[in-house]
Each structure stands twice: as structure tokens, then as C-alpha cells.
Amino acid sequence: MKPLIPLAKINFDTSAGIISLCANASGISHLNFVPQSTDDWQTRELSLDVTTDVESLALATMHLNQAKSELLEYFAGQRQQFSVALAPKGTEFQQQVWQALGQLGFGETCSYADIASEIGRPKAVRAVGTANGANP
């Protein structure tokens, strides 16, 4: 079994609903909107390994605070680009898809076929859609 990466977590209110953020020492690893029904949410939370390591916790907390600030600015219409470090966990293919998605500008859209071509895998359109759906 692979060791879990220690995480720190916060929940906060936005105009779009409650957001839950998780971070490790490298950056933000998960962003989720808390659903109205919390049954599924509580089950997913149990799989998180919340850290007690002081140094890792300090770095993770720094990332959480920066992300919270940037998200609140975004929802207030004051931000269009984010600078917080990201550390999503996924396969190499998923990482390529997520990196390509991260290159899209504010308000810009594209198709799964566009992303598949961008990462050099033009026939992987459905896999791009699946990776997009797994985006933490």
C-alpha cells in the first residue's frame, strides 16, 4: 500500500457554496464543493490523512490561506488568474490533461478533442473527458 501524503484541510463559504480545500506541503491537492447532502462527503473525508507534522502543516496552511484568498477574490470578480501552487495526485496522463486545462485563459473554452491534440494524443478524446472528470 502506498503511503498517504499528509494533508491539511479547510472549508469556507463562498457565493457559489461551501468549498473544501486540501493541501500538502507542495500545494493544493483537492478542491471540492461540499454537497447539500453530506453522506457521500463524509465517506470521502475519512480517506484523508491529515498531517500532524509541524513543518508540513505550516506549508500546507500557507497554500490553503493563499488559495482561500484567491478564490474569494475570484468570486468577488476581482481575480482572473491564480498563482497558488497546485499538487493534484493523478496518473501521468491525467497530469498532462490537467496541465493543459490550466493553460486555458479566463472564460476560454475548448473541447476534449482540443485538449487531446494539445497533449499529443489526438485519439484519446474520451480519456481526456475521463481525466477531466477526475480533476481533484
**63 exposed, middle or buried (CB, 10 Å; 0-12, 13-18, 19+)?**
buried
Cβ proximity of 32 and 88 under 8 Å: no
Q: Residue ranges of the chain with pLDDT lower than 50?
A: 1, 41, 43-47
Cα–Cα distances in Å, from 16 out to 10, 22, 76, 124? 16, 18, 11, 32
pLDDT score for 51: 54
Residues 6+ apart with CB under 8 A from 77: none
The pTM assigned to this predicted structure is 0.78
* pLDDT tens per residue across span 113-126: 999 999 999 999 99
pLDDT at 37: 64
33: its cell numbers: 464543493
Residue 61 CA to residue 10 CA, distance in Å, equals 9
Q: What is the DSSP letter of 7?
A: B
Provide the pLDDT for residue 43.
Answer: 43
